[in-house]
Amino acid sequence: MPYNHHDKIRAIEWSDAGLNLLDQRLLPNVTQWVLLKDALGVAQAIRDMVVRGAPAIGVTAAYGMVLAARDRYACSPGEWKSAIAEDIQTLADSRPTAVNLFWALERMRQFMEGLSGDPVPAMLAEARRIHEEDIASNRQMGELGAALIDGPCAVLTHCNTGSLATGGFGTALGVIRAAYGAGRINSVFADETRPWLQGARLTAWELVEDNIPVTLITEGAAATLMKQGKVKWVIVGSDRIAANGDVANKIGTYSLAVTARYHGVKFMVVAPTSTVDMNIACGDDIPIEERAESEVLTLAGQRIAPESARAWNPSFDVTPAELVDAIVTEKGVVERPSLEKMVAMMRS
């Protein structure tokens, strides 16, 4: 397929020594891998954003369970299943909003219940299945989302939703990769995504690496970009989608959706069904992580605000379903999402 030429990045790799993560805090200037050998280290890596992006966090947590099982079985072969509960909780506490984390942990927990003897080979195989399924889902979503785009045109994306944020290929960036390969997209505008600058550091890097034209903008430039008619779609990912189609995503997504609706620009959300939480009725019930004030008050370790200034730093916001033109999952496309449509898609 043509988009294979625009898909060469992977950020999560298993080896006999442990779990290797590409340290996303250092990109694009430094390419450095972190080797993790236990569940505590995996939880810390998730919390510290060595790895980020809901699907990637889920895949990483699954491998973290393998490391936990290896350690617990080595210490106490007869009691490892009860002992691992502490590791599961440690991993679950690492970040609150990305539902893929809890989905992956629960899948691995249920899988391990039926195991006897050394659990590591079987649990590693299951973690690899989760990883491979994520990539396959992303490719499927890429095809489905690309088919919605009449092109060639330019699109706008926010945060990072590519290979770095997933097992590989990406959600929203997967659609962009597939659509670019099919000639439906000719260029991409990427928001900086403050305060962690995932768009500037990560999305722009991925697109440059895969030879897809990208132009970086500040969040404040998005409205003018749309007013000038330079983009036809906003394409984003999600960390959790409520049963009614409300979408939690990186802070700044909501304002993009409002602006897009005003200017007649279509708004697409791309996420696997593991991101859909049918136990959450609406966006008001989604827990929103608030991170340290220092992330806003400093830049590259240097204070940029007066010492007496405070900061409010929610990591995510919620976009109401009525502002979403399409939710794309591996199971299909939900246009103008509602509870009834989301239920039907999840049952398909």
Asked whether residue 160 falls in the same domain as residue 280, the answer is yes
Asked whether residue 113 falls in the same domain as residue 257, the answer is no
Asked whether residue 189 falls in the same domain as residue 333, the answer is yes
Asked whether residue 18 falls in the same domain as residue 68, the answer is yes
Q: Which of 136, 168, 189 is the last residue of a domain?
A: 136
**Contact (Cβ atoms closer than 8 angstroms) between residue 73 and residue 83:** no
Domain that holds residue 257: 142-347
Asked whether residue 182 falls in the same domain as residue 46, the answer is no
Asked whether residue 15 falls in the same domain as residue 48, the answer is yes
Asked whether residue 63 falls in the same domain as residue 102, the answer is yes
Asked whether residue 56 falls in the same domain as residue 89, the answer is yes
Strand 247-250 vs strand 276-277: parallel, antiparallel, or unpaired?
A: unpaired
What's the pLDDT tens digit per position in 164-221?
999 999 999 999 999 999 999 999 999 999 999 999 999 999 999 999 999 999 999 9
- Cα distance between residue 235 and residue 233, in whole Å: 6
Asked whether residue 289 falls in the same domain as residue 202, the answer is yes
Number of folded domains in the chain?
Answer: 2
Which pair of structure tokens corresponds to residue 23? 């340290």
The residues annotated with a catalytic role in the active site are 239
pTM: predicted TM-score of the whole model, two decimal places: 0.90
- Cα distance between residue 140 and residue 50, in whole Å: 27
Q: Which of 136, 167, 188 is the last residue of a domain?
A: 136
Here the CATH number for the domain that contains residue 184 is 3.40.50.10470
Here the CATH number for the domain that contains residue 28 is 1.20.120.420
Asked whether residue 194 falls in the same domain as residue 257, the answer is yes
- Beta carbons within 8 Å of 69's beta carbon, 6+ residues apart: 80, 84, 112, 119, 120, 123
Q: Which of 136, 157, 189 is the last residue of a domain?
A: 136
- Cα distance between residue 15 and residue 214, in whole Å: 33
Asked whether residue 211 falls in the same domain as residue 329, the answer is yes
Partners of 242 in beta bridges: 277
Asked whether residue 124 falls in the same domain as residue 153, the answer is no
Low-confidence ranges of the chain (pLDDT < 70): 1-6
